[in-house]
Amino acid sequence: MNHIMNKIVFVFACLNLFLFTLPLSAQNEEARPPKRFFGFRSLKDTATNEKKGTFILPLIYYTPDIRWAGGVAGIYYFKLPAKKASEKETRVSNIQFLTDYTQNKQLDVWGQWNIFTRNEDYLLKGEFRYRDFPDRFYGIGNNSNLNQVEKYEYSLLSFKSLFLKQVKPSLFLGFDYHLEKQFGFKYTPQASLESGQIPGSRGGVQSAVGLVSLYDNRDNVINAYKGNLFELSSYFYLPAIGSTYRFTYINSLYQKYWQIKPKHIIALQARGRYGFGEVPFLDLSTLGNDDLLRGYPKNRFRDINFIGSQLEYRFPLFWRLGMVAFVGAGDVYRNTSDLSFQNIKYSLGTGIRFAVNPAERLNLRLDYGLGKEGGFFYFIVGESF
């Protein structure tokens, strides 16, 4: 069934690329000024001083759980002018959104923002999500079996906000806040979640405050060619501020980019997530998604902690097309003794890139990631990191 699903996703990905590319290939770029179509920019429109733009993509896909689904995804990007002409230009900010509705009457609405104020004095990051969607639970631990899967449904409202001030060039310090409500659970009868023994299986409210430090000197936050990103953040979920459970998470993220020759990029990412206390199962660290360790179903593995990394080589092909090869490894775990070479999860694969906006390096990506249990296609707006 997964093989059939991947073929369907691949067909619609190619169809979307064809339909949205057609108007650009038909226009005479030598005779006309640069134009955009749903955010697509001319190949000759490579000026670095573009101030804003929008890209919108219709979505249609199929999975065995939700059957047919349709929706829309997009990104709005912009630059705020410097206070003085002599000052360094502010990097591009972006606001992303996605919403889809399924044949099973399920809804997912998601938004994310990454905004630099003038002269990058402040950085505002955050996300909002409403989710009424089915998911799969394979148990807790890095050695769970695909055959023990159980289905459940729930609703979620989540808001996360980070407020940071630049204290030195590229170095930001600040605080974060996370508020989330989980409710409306439905389970597979006589399964482990229905028993109520797993923390969080009856829902609740998670409310947290924390501190953030961020060093970011990437040349472009959408698709970097060079630079570094290092982020260290904490979340303290406390009953005193409304949280149902008391627990703590510390998150670390490091990204490094090398341009070995024009548009040939080596990108490295390493990520860690470390928990303490009674963590609800929806807040556990997970492995499997469209960004880090592609090739595993979303949330395939869960446990308190996670550590993983991946390496990508990105290079151009011709016209608007590029290609990526990637490899990664990581795992979830409760104690360090749970980590072993036998259990470690690997991921490798390749993908095609289609340049939507050459000026701001905004791409569509179609990736195929292969893991221990098979492979999956991913059709997404923007790079994995």
Half-sphere exposure of 200 (CA within 13 A, CB side): 23
Q: Tokens 């949280």 identify what position? A: 243
Cα–Cα distance, 307 to 58 (Å, whole number): 34
Contact 92, 78 (CB under 8 A): yes
pLDDT of amino acid 65: 53
**Stretch 228-236: mean pLDDT, rounded?**
96
CA 187-59-128 angle, to 5 degrees, is 60
Contact 301, 345 (CB under 8 A): yes
pLDDT of amino acid 41: 55
- Name the residue with higher pLDDT: 377 or 65: 377
pLDDT of amino acid 66: 60
Tell me the pLDDT tens digit for each residue of 343-357. 899 999 999 999 887
**Stretch 255-275: mean pLDDT, rounded?**
96
Burial bucket for residue 190 (CB in 10 Å: 0-12, 13-18, 19+): exposed
| Average confidence score pLDDT of the chain | 83
Tell me the pLDDT tens digit for each residue of 292-307. 898 888 889 999 999 9
Tell me the domain boundaries of the chain: 2-381
Q: Tokens 């989980």 identify what position? A: 182
**318 pLDDT higher than 60:** yes
Contact 245, 281 (CB under 8 A): no
**270 pLDDT higher than 60:** yes
Q: Spell out the CATH class of 2-381.
A: mainly beta
Cα–Cα distance, 81 to 88 (Å, whole number): 9
The lowest-confidence range among 49-53, 119-123, 180-184 is 49-53
**Stretch 133-160: mean pLDDT, rounded?**
89
Distance of CA 2 to CAs 59, 100, 173, 295, Å?
Answer: 19, 21, 44, 12
**84 pLDDT higher than 80:** no
**283 pLDDT higher than 60:** yes
pLDDT of amino acid 67: 64
Percent of the chain having pLDDT more than 70? 85
Cα–Cα distance, 224 to 242 (Å, whole number): 38
Distance of CA 61 to CAs 8, 82, 102, 111, 113, Å?
Answer: 7, 42, 9, 20, 25
**Stretch 197-222: mean pLDDT, rounded?**
92
Residue type, 90: T
Cα–Cα distance, 325 to 88 (Å, whole number): 34
The segment with the largest mean pLDDT, out of 86-90, 134-138, 172-176, 217-221, is 172-176
Tell me the pLDDT tens digit for each residue of 27-83. 333 334 444 444 445 555 444 455 778 878 787 765 545 667 789 988 888 888 877
Q: Which two tokens stand for residue 330?
A: 């990581």
Burial bucket for residue 12 (CB in 10 Å: 0-12, 13-18, 19+): middle
pLDDT of amino acid 29: 37
The segment with the largest mean pLDDT, out of 9-23, 129-143, 307-321, 353-367, is 307-321
**368 pLDDT higher than 70:** yes
* pTM assigned to the model: 0.80
